[in-house]
Amino acid sequence: MRNLKKNVILLTVIVLTLFTLTACTANGYRNVSAEEAKQLIDAGGITVVDVRTPHEFNQGHIKNSQLVSIEQVAETAKQWPKDTKLLMVCASGSRSGAAAEMLAEKGYTEVYNLAGGVYQWPYGLVN
């Protein structure tokens, strides 16, 4: 009986762990560091979407990024094929994370979020 309880507890822990891991990756997008984002940009074929306000964007943004306010992401996304590789960016990673999640829910398959936003971007910004 004692072994049965241990096995049930062990099985429960395994199932919960697998469920948690699945839930973490099931959001459909991936948070990336500034270094990973730079590698994605340097490799080419990615659209960098800055969801900040025009004022924030004009103060400095990642080179070649496209300004799409957070309110316009859903509408603008209709222009992008579902397999478009997208890097979502904001000041801190919060708004871009929400945008990335929304895009993933709409079926976009290659969505990345810059964790920490441009505050953590050490590679320089352009005006």
* Each residue's pLDDT tens digit, 88-100: 999 999 999 999 9
Q: Which residue among 49, 90, 91, 118 is the active-site one?
A: 90
- The string of pLDDT tens digits covering residues 13-43 is 565 554 444 334 446 899 999 999 999 999 9
Q: Does the residue 19 lie in any domain?
A: no
Domain containing residue 85 = 29-120
Domain assignment present for residue 9? The answer is no
The CATH number of residue 104's host domain is: 3.40.250.10
Q: Is residue 127 part of a domain?
A: no
Residue 37 included in any domain: yes
For the question of residue 90 being annotated catalytic, the response is yes
126: DSSP letter: B
Q: Are 38 and 120 in contact (CB under 8 A)?
A: no
Angle at 94 between CA 125 and CA 88, to 5 degrees: 55
Q: Does residue 92 belong to any structural domain of this protein?
A: yes
- For the question of whether the overall pTM of this predicted structure is more than 0.95, the answer is no
pLDDT of residue 23: 39
Burial of 66 (0-12, 13-18, 19+ CB in 10 A): middle
Q: What angle do CA 117, 112, 56 make, to 5 degrees?
A: 30
Q: What is the total count of domains within the chain?
A: 1
- Domain membership of residue 114 (yes or no) is yes
Q: Cα angle vertex 65, ends 44, 37, to 5°?
A: 50
